Amino acid sequence: MTNHWVDLKNADIILVMGANPAENHPISMKWMAKAQEKAAKLIVVDPRFTRTAAKADVYAPMRSGTDIAVLGGMIKYILDNHLHLKEYVVNYTNAAFLVNPDFKGPSQLDGVFSGYDPKTRKYDKKTWAFQVDENGIPKKDPSLKDPHCVFQLLRNQYSRYTLDKVSEIAGTPKDKLSEVYSLYASTGKRDRVGTVCYAMGWTQHTVGTQNIRAMTIIQLLLGNIGLAGGGVNALRGESNVQGSTDHGILYDILPGYLPVPSASLSDLTAYIEKYTPKTKEPKSINWWSNRGKYITSYLKAIYGNKATKDNEFGYKWLPKIDDGKNYSWLMLFDQMFKGGFEGFFAWGQNPACSGSNAGKVRKALSKLKWMVNVNLFDNETGSFWRGPGMKPADIKTEVFFLPACSSVEKEGSITNSSRLAQWRYRAIKPIGQSKPDSEIMNELYFRVRQLYEKEKGHYPDPIINLSWDYGEKDTNGKVLEIDIHRVAREINGYYLDDVYDKKATPPKLLGKKGELCASFVTLQDDGSTSCGNWIYSQSYTQKDGKVINMMARRDRTDPTGLGLYAGWAWAWPVNRRIIYNRASVDPEGRPWDPKRAVIKWKPTKINPANNKPGVWEGDVPDGPAPPLEAKDGKLPFIMKPDGVGSIFGPGLGDGPFPEHYEPLECPIEKNPLSNQYNSPTIKLFYGGSQAALPEDIFISCDVRYPFVATTYRVSEHWQTGVMTRHQPWLLEMEPQIFVEMSEELAKEKGIRGGDKVTVSSARGSLWAIAIVTSRLRPFHIAGTTVHQVGLPWCFGWQYPEDGSGGDSSNLLTPTIGDANTMIPETKAFMVNVEKA
Amino acid sequence: MMRKSLLISPEVCIGCRGCQTACKEWNQLAGVKTRNTGSFENPPDLIPTLYNRIRYVEVPSEADRQRWLFVNQRCMHCGDAGCMKICPAPGALYRTPEGAVAFSKEKCIGCKLCVTACPFNVPRYDINNKISKCHLCSDRISEGLPPACSKVCPTGAIRFGDRDALIEYAKVTGYAKVYGERDLDGLGALYAFKDAPSIYGMNESPAIPESVVFWNNILKPLSYLGIGGVVALALIHYVAFGPHKEEEEKYDEQHDKKDQRL
């Protein structure tokens, strides 16, 4: 979230799209209800009338996978009716920037952008660059009239997204589209603000990243980013998924969103050079210019004393990605299927049910020599060898189960969608032989290290040199018990030497050797600081010699009334509750809406930090620099090299603007907008250049699989249900896999509510109980009637033991990922439904 | 003591069923084996091990917008409680100082008269043939704690407090009519409805069956005079309500058996 949960109460309009918070984030509805009490309007756009839609003031149905069409129509509506906040758009976004005159968009090139090579399925992004002046600063036209400026290119691209066209693609009635557009676009005023909540309904598409980009463009046009009650808010699907992403769970990022180096970046200098963005814009803060400090301090944290200036702080020991290789979920299981791995740790996950195309995943597991399943319970992954269609005698995989304890059996921090890191305490000791994950890792690390010490092996250095100073050690050097506070302190970071601010005269002492870092502002690139995750620096800090675990704070006061609760736990970065909050004020530093002032600039008040006039009040500002129009004023989007929000986003692989493409499997033969059917840059597993596996088959627009399907979660179960299917109270409420369908489809198929039906896709099939409901309606798409169905993915064959729950709906979902992130497209695919 | 009650607001309810689960947790009620019958609603009715549940009411409309209402179902803790009126076992059903209709399984004689006397079809009988229903968490509210259902409700759709204050709150927040404000000497489970109670699947004018009034006024005093005993009760039951409903009992038994298995 750019903002935070409580902040939803500050919105005038809340758009929920690609999410179902009433079922998956119930507590968020408390804040939405508070907003509605104050006359805010809740808009829900979803293929199904969900429990969230039941609370909405406006509900608009749409076919799965057509979000960009719907949002593109909104962009057109805003521009046609001049509803954007012009001062914000001109000053705080790249709308005025001039793009290379050779740039061409989908309206000119029939669905693709300039630079597309169909052979490599990649773009040469040369023409996507901004024009720069003699000083290297992007050229701008603040009147927004230049035909090559971003604003005009935007207008040009979305001029095709007419109400008729959007309705033809998405199936949303035109009057509903108009209602949603006019309501949401009403927030393009200084004193109106709208927010958006999204989740996997936006991300899990071949155009997932662009779905979010489309909304970001809208939020920038309407001046809604940085404001209380605004922002772009990802509702994270697990209690600590924000924390795990922050700490580098994805294959391509190290903690703190530092890229994992690729093999060609052979030394630290090359890495820093590549990943430190440069700008000639004097008003840009360009925070990522500090990259070198963060990676160096990270290396010091993981390799300790072994990381020295002479060995590039151990940079060579970091694992590298082979250039051009992708190690995301779909690729891992593809490789596993092809025999690419001997072993696999399934740690706190259940890919046999959660993985898209679960049938392929289950087969892939059988190719392993060994698997370690670390979980609270055995699950369909650990027991895959005795699952449906498996012949245990033929499967050679040796499975080990390591029982992990639950969150109430251990101490530590947890980071929610608000970026709020909260400390929690152990309620009971771990039950039975179960252990906290950290203890399991400790055991594992010690044994692996011992093996490397004894037997050497290939390249032992990264393991041997790892710092593991998390508690008292026995005579063998094994940590007896992990002190989780030491881990938290390592993440926060230490001064390894006395650290001075060398810009000040005389140099000012920032921190003393051995003390905990005050914040990432004091981190250095010379090895004098250590920090496990720069964005968490300040979370466990030291003030006047006193150590403070900021995450354990429990102050309930809210002086602003905006729900910032600045003294409750701690939010990254530096306890900022709303990020990009410098965009919540106009260029003079006055809040766009004084009633909802996140921060405001006091030009005459003395700043205690430098004894000069001019200081920010309110939330922790995005950098202390003055507002744009003041002396030494800076631009608000401090993480962007140009200092402004990107309406034009040339960083992505599939286009600088979002364009509607059909999902890999879709019900229509032609994309109504262009001749480019699917996203041009997705990696095709089947029908692409590589040898196709029958498991990866997809079948689009085919009478055998005529219905659009999507998957989702329900309040009563969590993820694949491993933690909830063992709970009789929850199973009592939601006992069996179901498929929701319209009354019209049910009639056509002779299905009644409660009937057992078979749902099948090109890849697999399963039984489900039919829920026949008026909450789903047929769509009128491109002149035809299209039915949509939906299934939850919280069931699995293993439990309930009598098989009465059914199996995972991921047996149906395809092997295809987003063009940028490779997140699987589980939210739009094609199925058939027949009475069983 | 001020009479306490619940204020249930389906307009704010998100149907998450935290109330259903929290109730089972506090009262330690076993989960039962169910099947999906083509609806989110489950179990399909109150059972001995389910004191409150959410009914999912779909209100389709061509002209108007689709609605999906989430309505909590439970004992209404009537001011004038038919169950208490008819109960022949002293102390089996009793009113707490807070106004809840609570029960004592020890004192319940299993006659099931309360079942037929309830205008809302609430009381159920457990495997030991003892009454089982919502008691407004009498063991929590007596200690100043809110009932479990209200405690966990994320949106304030189940509020607990002084009855008068809740009625006032409902009116201030825009609910002109509060269901249960006056019916049956006022219900202890009030509902804030935007529309007619029938839209939410509720009885427009709940009343205690005439026969219960007859029993309360004429036959019940006689039973205290020594006519007593199971035979007499059965006779009275027959006179008042006709023969036992075997099917209902079977359903309950079925569930009780499953309770044990789980």
The CATH number for B179's domain is 3.30.70.20
Minimal CA separation from A763 to chain B, in Å: 26
Residue of A723, A729, A799 best to disrupt the B interface, most CBs of B under 10 A = A729
CATH topology of domain A329-464: Rossmann fold (3.40.50)
**Residue B70: its chain A contacts at CB < 8 A?**
51, 54
Contact B156 A33 (CB under 8 A): yes
Which residues sit opposite A253 in a β-bridge?
A259
The secondary structure element, H or E, covering residue A270 is helix A268-275
Residue B229: predicted pLDDT: 53
* DSSP secondary structure letter of residue A488: H
Minimal CA separation from B192 to chain A, in Å: 15
**Residue A799: its chain B contacts at CB < 8 A?**
none
Residue B235: predicted pLDDT: 58
Chain B interface includes A770 (CB < 8 A): yes
d(CA A335, CA A367): 10
Which burial class, exposed, middle or buried, applies to A673 when counting CB atoms under 10 A from its CB (0-12, 13-18, 19+)? buried
Q: Look at residues A674, A578, A583, A649 and name the one whose alpha carbon lies nearest to residue A212.
A: A649
d(CA A592, CA B225): 80
% pLDDT > 70, chain A: 100
Question: Three-class SS of residue B41?
Answer: coil
Nearest residue of chain A to residue B259 (CA atoms)? A728
**Out of A729, A735, A773, whose CB is closest to B36?**
A735
Nearest residue of chain A to residue B62 (CA atoms)? A774
Q: Report the 10 Å Cβ neighbour count for B99.
A: 18
Contact A715 B65 (CB under 8 A): no
Least confident of A360-374, A735-749, B206-220: B206-220
Contact B66 A735 (CB under 8 A): no
Q: pLDDT of B78-115, one tens digit each? A: 999 999 999 999 999 999 999 999 999 999 999 999 99
Residue A665: predicted pLDDT: 98
Residue A502: predicted pLDDT: 86
Contact A732 B31 (CB under 8 A): yes
**Domain carrying residue B19:** 1-262
Residue B225: predicted pLDDT: 60
**Residue B158: its chain A contacts at CB < 8 A?**
none
Residue B230: predicted pLDDT: 53
ipTM exceeding cut-off 0.95 for this assembly? no
Q: Which pair of structure tokens corresponds to residue A777? A: 């309606």
Q: pLDDT of A688-723, one tens digit each? A: 656 789 999 999 999 999 999 999 999 999 999 999
Minimal CA separation from B48 to chain A, in Å: 14
Q: Is the pLDDT of residue A21 over 90?
A: yes
Contact A715 B17 (CB under 8 A): yes
Enumerate the domain spans of chain A: 5-237, 252-317+491-547, 329-464, 584-636, 694-835
On the CB side of B124, CA atoms within 13 Å amount to 24
Question: Three-class SS of residue A396?
Answer: coil
Contact B66 A59 (CB under 8 A): yes
Query: Which residues of B lie closer than 8 Å to A, measured between beta carbons?
Result: 12, 14-18, 20-21, 24-25, 30-40, 42-43, 50, 58, 60, 65-70, 154-156, 173, 262
A602 φ, ψ (degrees, to nearest 5): -105, 95
Contact B70 A775 (CB under 8 A): no
Contact A729 B262 (CB under 8 A): no
d(CA A454, CA A674): 63
Q: Which pair of structure tokens corresponds to residue A445? A: 């690390």
Place of tokens 């005439």: B210
Contact B16 A715 (CB under 8 A): yes
Chain B interface includes A179 (CB < 8 A): no
Residue B254: predicted pLDDT: 46
Minimal CA separation from A777 to chain B, in Å: 11
Q: What is the mean pLDDT of residues A417-443?
A: 97
Q: Which CATH number fits domain A694-835: 3.90.1150.10, 2.40.40.20, 3.90.10.10, 3.40.50.2020?
A: 2.40.40.20
Chain B interface includes A716 (CB < 8 A): yes
Q: pLDDT of A61-71, one tens digit each? A: 999 999 999 99
Least confident of A268-272, A560-564, A761-765, B248-252: B248-252
Report how many domains make up chain B: 1
Contact B68 A30 (CB under 8 A): no
CATH class of A5-237: alpha beta
Contact B38 A732 (CB under 8 A): no
**Residue A804: its chain B contacts at CB < 8 A?**
33, 35
% pLDDT > 90, chain B: 74
Q: pLDDT of A289-348, one tens digit each? A: 999 999 999 999 999 999 999 999 999 999 999 998 999 999 999 999 999 999 999 999
Residue B214: predicted pLDDT: 76
Residue B222: predicted pLDDT: 66
**Residue A37: its chain B contacts at CB < 8 A?**
173
**Residue B262: its chain A contacts at CB < 8 A?**
728
Residue of B26, B40, B46, B58 best to disrupt the A interface, most CBs of A under 10 A = B40
Chain B interface includes A49 (CB < 8 A): yes
Alpha carbon separation from A151 to A93, A157, A644, A645 (Å, rounded): 10, 10, 14, 13
Q: Which pair of structure tokens corresponds to residue A492? A: 């926060």
pLDDT band at B177 (very low <50, low <70, confident <90, very high): confident
